Chains A and B, each alone.
Chain A
Amino acid sequence: MSTSNLDIYMPILILLIFGVVLVSATLLIGKLIRPNNPSPVKNQPYECGEDPIGSAWSVFNMRFYVTGLIFIIFDVESALMFPVVGVFKDLNDIGMGGLVFMELFLFLLILAAGLAYCWRKGDLDWVKTYHTEKGQE
């Protein structure tokens, strides 16, 4: 006697729904018992007592995007490496370890080249320095 196959995903669904329900229910219950006296000043965003100037949804610095960009490439890379790394031990036991190691090594080497390129070109630097022709700055 064992659980049927898809039943194993039950806890995941229960937990996700539980999280949603917990947040909604607590906020709903809280609505009944907590005070609610909004005022225009209270509902301002907090900026150390000053009146806020403009919206915060303004154009941000590009470097956050560059971080996300390099991240997603490495994220995808690790996602692709998970199954290969997972079978490395099995294949090593039957004497194919060298081959798989070489494949992994090549894969990592190509991506390390990408990282090295970004490093060399200064994409990894947070404080960007721009080299002008005159060598100033």
Chain B
Amino acid sequence: MFDTILFIFAALAAIVGGILTISVKNLMHACVFLLLTLLGVAGLYLTLGADFVGVIQLVVYVGGVVVLMVFAVMLTSGSNAQKVNRFGMVKIPTMGNFRTYTLAGIFAALILMSIIKLYRNVFSMARLEKLPEYYPTVSKIGHSLVSTHVLAFEISSVLLLGALVGAAIISRPKREMR
């Protein structure tokens, strides 16, 4: 019974957070609701028996990505928040208006239809007869990260190095700019 309760809480957090993320006008509030979504998705991972992925979701997203997003929102807000962009289209710039949401809604409906079409294959896929027991995943993940997936493990460090160097170069203030 508790699995259902946990699922409902997590799914509600994810979906409500997602809807609010894409609909509120204030970007900082959108980040807070994104946090709610991420916590909900972490809860869904837990109900799926992926305990390690769930807590990594907490560490990386809640502790890292959301903080970074919030920093970026703060660093770009301020002076020209009310300015109209140079096409002079919208009153509150940057957060979308009725027209963009309508267009996006139509497009999303199209994508949804194609996804449902794709899911027809998924639904006919052979599934496990009996759901496996929950088991601790972290040692299995560790073993496969040093044996089967060792290349991905090492290359991800190169990816992170590239991201670090690239982002540091991009965000470094230019000398003449002060």
Contacts and interface: CB of A to CB of B under 8 A. Distances in A.
Interface of A: 4-7, 9-10, 13, 55, 57-60, 62, 64-66, 68-73, 75-80, 82-87, 90-91, 96, 99-100, 103, 106-107, 110-111, 113-114, 117-118, 121, 123, 128, 130, 132
B110 to A, nearest CB: 34
Interface residues of B, number: 53
Given A114-B165, A132-B175, A84 B60 contact: no
Contact of A84 (B6, B46, B145): B145
Given A75-B59, A75-B64, A111-B161, A86 B168 contact: no
Contacts of A132: 175
B47 A6 contact: yes
A60 B158 contact: no
- Dominant SS among interface residues on chain A: helix
B2 A6 contact: yes
Contacts of A5: 49, 133-134
B168 A69 contact: yes
A6 B171 CA distance: 44
A5 B77 CA distance: 46
Interface string B54-71: 001001100111011001
Given A75-B59, A77-B157, A111-B164, 8 more contacts: A9-B46, A59-B78, A72-B65, A76-B160, A83-B142, A86-B138, A87-B139, A114-B161
A80 to B, nearest CB: 6
